[in-house]
Amino acid sequence: MEGIVYLNGKLVPAEEAKLSPFDRGFLYGYGLFETMRSYNGRVFRLDRHLARLRRSAEMLALASKLEAYDLEQAIYDTLEANRLKDARIRLTVSAGIGERGLAPPSLGPLTVMVSAQKLDLPPPQVSRRGISAAIVSTRRNSLSPLSQIKATNYLDSFFALSQAMALGAEEAIMLNERGFIAECSTSNIFLVAKGQLLTPSVESGILPGITREAVLELARTLGIEALEGEIAVAQLFGAEEAFLTASVREIVPITSVDDRPIGSGRPGPVTKRLMAAYKELVEITTT
The per-residue pLDDT string of the chain (287 residues; one tens digit each, 9 = 90 and over) reads 579 999 999 999 999 999 999 999 999 999 999 999 999 999 999 999 999 999 999 999 999 999 999 999 999 999 999 999 999 999 999 999 877 777 777 778 999 999 999 998 888 888 889 999 999 999 999 999 999 999 999 999 999 999 999 999 999 999 999 999 999 999 999 999 999 999 999 999 999 999 999 999 999 999 999 999 999 999 999 999 999 999 999 999 999 999 999 999 999 999 999 999 999 999 999 98
Tell me 259's DSSP state: T
Cα separation of 247 and 157, whole Å? 16
Cβ 148 vs Cβ 207: under 8 Å: yes
Alpha-carbon distance of 54 to 48, in angstroms, equals 10
